Amino acid sequence: QSALTQPRSVSGSPGQSVTISCTGTGSDVGNYNYVSWYQQHPGKAPKLMIYDVTQRPSGVPDRFSGSKSGNTASLTISGLQAADEADYYCCSYAGSYTYVVFGGGTELTVL
């Protein structure tokens, strides 16, 4: 069982928007603005898509956005494209003892 809870799968049609949730606790997501999101295509290494809840690294399209409310963070992908089909993982800092925790991952299918 992963420390952060994500839906196992989500889907959407090209051009639509999808939102992936990531639920933690007051010890991780709810206590720190250090939530990040990673995209992973099959057989590839994870790629940073969002950091510090809402920030996008250079090169990541602005179709990807992040937010947080209480103990739940969210990743929204708008204008879905076929290339967005991948697994998405959230991650949160959880203090100096636990360090970081990941979600179980969400498989995004573009219909």
Partner 1 sequence: EEHLLESGGGLVQPGGSLRLSCAASGFTFSSHAMSWVRQTPGKGLEWVSAISGSGDSTFYADSVKGRFTISRDNSKNTLFLQMNSLRADDTAVFYCAKEVVAGVHFDSWGQGTLVTVSS
The residues that touch partner 1, with contacts defined as CB under 8 A, are: 2, 32, 34, 36, 38, 45-48, 51-52, 57, 89, 91, 93, 96, 99-105
In angstroms, the CA 15 to CA 109 distance is 13
Residue 81 makes CB contacts below 8 A (sequence gap 6+) with 14, 63, 110
Minimum CB separation of residue 31 from partner 1 in Å reads 12
Between 14 and 50, CB nearer to partner 1: 50
Between 13 and 52, CB nearer to partner 1: 52
Choose among 110, 108, 111: nearest CA to 8. Answer: 108
For 6-24, b/e burial (b = at least 16 CB within 10 A) is beeebebeeeeebebbbbb
Between 2 and 17, CB nearer to partner 1: 2
Minimum CB separation of residue 14 from partner 1 in Å reads 26
Between 18 and 35, CB nearer to partner 1: 35
